[in-house]
Chains A and B, each alone.
Chain A
Amino acid sequence: MAKITLKDLSHSYLTKQSNDADWALRGVDIDWKDGGAYALLGPSGCGKTTLLNIISGLLKPTKGKVLFDDKDITALNPVERDIAQIFQFPVIYDTMTVYENLAFPLKNRGLSKTEIDSKVKEIGEMLELTSTLNNKAAGLTADGKQKISLGRGLVRSDVNVIMFDEPLTVIDPHLKWVLRSKLKELHQKINRTMIYVTHDQIEALTFADQVVVMHEGQIVQTGTPVELFEKPKHTFVGHFIGSPGMNILPCEIENGQINFEGKILPNSTSIKKTNFSKTQLGIRPEFINFSDEGIEVKIKRVSDTGRHKVIDTECSSGSIKILANASAEIPSDSAHITFDQKYTYLYGDDWIIE
């Protein structure tokens, strides 16, 4: 059990770095509270797994520090760090039984036979593996094997953090749900810090209290699912989270106000800083309404997803997606739209301007 702090962490797989693209991680600073359930969300190649492997000690960071309870452990190896990690593909020891698999990490740490036995039985029960404890692990289904990987992490009572690296990739969709609720339940039961890496926003949002969004080796936002949805701090969060994602449209700043297609949008506070190479406004499809006046758009396509209608429209600055109730009436051909002021944000060089 520990609080985990990452201080100015950067990592590169290359020996020489010339530009930003050479870094897998760039200046990551974050605090993971003890006992929290975190999700690390981002597309493939954004540095999630690198970050995880640095926390577990499988990788040594090029720059920066890893602290457990304010103690610098950057130089320690995975065993000394007392962490557990569950990988994308179930890792089991084929020739061992389920019992031996679960006992393996304890045996390596020199626990007595009786201690091992009680721990293994306890975890076996928790993961509903009791009936298969004496079977060969190789004969189990993918989700059974993944439960063993999970069990090998949980069986040690002293772990500082349990990390999951897209653990449900190979699991059937209907079992994904079961295992995910199991994880959530386990988190409540054992109350240990858990970090869950995924590129699937649904998985991240259902598992975690706090979601950490990564993009090109940086943490772009940390927040609750609601915060990420309602107030994305970076355009990437806007269009990565939500389905369909946020509309990001080019705009100008004029006298501290947003000028979009020649119309001044009402803005509560006036904007001071203006020296950006690009400015954009972001508005979620959920917060756009049809009205009699406002921005003129052409309706291109309406797709019905059952509960909602997704309307693709086109204005002179680009395409805008609008989400409406399935029962809503959709004007045909051309229409006017207005943006909900509360949820209209301005982004300068992709970062929110407040």
Chain B
Amino acid sequence: MNKTLNQKAWFFVIPVFALVAFNAVVPLMTVVNYSFQETFGSNVFQWEGTRWFKEILHSERFHASLGRQFIFTFIILLIQLPLGIAIALTMPKKGWGVPVCLILMSMPLLIPWNVVGAMWNIFALPDIGFLGNSLNSLGFDYNFTQQSGDAWFTTILMDVWHWTSLVVLLSYAGLNSIQPAYYQAAEIDGAGRWDIFRYIELPKMKKVLTLAILLRFMDSFMIYTEPFVLTGGGPGNATNFLSLDLVKMALGQFDLGPAAAMSLIYFLIVLLMCWVFYSLMMKDEGRT
């Protein structure tokens, strides 16, 4: 293919560049700026070099919240992906069931995140909440505000409720794009249900699943609002995920420098993980 060289194209990029600069590059640079300095307010800054980075990387508090974050993300991916695919597979392909299912599935995604947190908070309250009360009357000793296991259970359940639909919708779209001829050919070839899933559906869903994993990884790794409203990171530090911890450090303690350094490390981890996921999953694509 011959590409025509046309430098004028740069002019078309300028508006986007300006917009991105304004809403992403400039704030990010401010964070970078903070991460190398110490401030006690009144806009007075003092150069600290890489001190905050070293401190954060060696801080046990950071290790703990990073660990919690990884465990949380790992668990929800492990639940939401298979569950989402399974639901998508059982959804009807035509008829009145399609819009009903799609609307039901979209509902959790449309609810504002703090509302989700508040809903689940009330829902799970051990005394008056439907979930909490039911569990207790069934004989379980359930109290998510006091027991860390219960807090984790509730947070994960909330996230599964809130976000599995995204995996479902993406998988469903992927499944629907498969030509009927594939199923017909498989039928003629004598393939069983598992073979159809393993050799047709799963490979054809690869792209949307990659997207689903990336989105679910990023969103769950940066989760803030829902656990903030539900548990506030507690009990103790049990559900104190990275972003909750970051906000506590930046706004609660007003440690702008360390918080900025932590943000950057956080950002780089997300970026790195996305890159790793993406290149692992797209490894074979180059050959096709």
Contacts and interface: CB of A to CB of B under 8 A. Distances in A.
Chain A interface, DSSP helix/strand/loop, else mixed: mixed
A195 to B, nearest CB: 14
Given A87-B181, A93-B199, A104 B187 contact: no
Contacts of A136: 284, 287-288
B199 A108 contact: no
Interface stretch (A76-84, A290-298, A342-350): A76-84
Nearest to B286: A139
Interface in A102-118: 104-105, 108-109
Given A105-B190, A136-B284, A87 B184 contact: yes
Given A93-B203, A136-B284, A108 B191 contact: yes
A96 interface: yes
- Chain B interface bracket (under 10, 10 to 19, 20 to 34, 35 or more): 10 to 19
Chain B interface, DSSP helix/strand/loop, else mixed: helix
A101 to B, nearest CB: 9
Contacts of B181: 87-89, 91
A276 B185 CA distance: 46
Interface string B161-193: 000000000000000000101101101111110
B286 to A, nearest CB: 10
Interface in B179-233: 179, 181-182, 184-185, 187-192, 195, 199-200, 203-204
B184 A94 contact: no
- Chain A interface bracket (under 10, 10 to 19, 20 to 34, 35 or more): 20 to 34
Q: Which of B179, B188, B189, B199 has the most CB of A within 10 A?
A: B188
B78 to A, nearest CB: 22
Contacts of A104: 189, 191, 199
Q: Which of A83, A94, A96, A152 has the most CB of B within 10 A?
A: A94
A58 B191 CA distance: 14
A56 interface: yes
Contacts, number: 61
Contacts of B188: 56, 58, 78-79, 83-85, 105
Contact of A79 (B182, B187, B284, B287): B187
B189 A152 contact: yes
A149 interface: yes
Given A136-B284, A139-B287, A91 B182 contact: yes
Nearest to A149: B185
A56 B192 CA distance: 18
Interface string B263-288: 00000000000000000000010011
B288 A139 contact: yes
B185 A138 contact: no
Contacts of B199: 93-96, 104
A85 B184 contact: yes
A89 B185 CA distance: 11
A182 to B, nearest CB: 20
Contacts of A108: 189-192, 195
Nearest to A136: B287
Interface of A: 53, 56, 58, 77-79, 83-85, 87-89, 91, 93-96, 104-105, 108-109, 136, 138-139, 149, 152
17 contacts: A53-B184, A78-B187, A79-B188, A85-B184, A87-B179, A87-B184, A91-B181, A91-B182, A93-B199, A93-B200, A95-B199, A95-B203, A96-B199, A104-B191, A104-B199, A136-B284, A138-B284
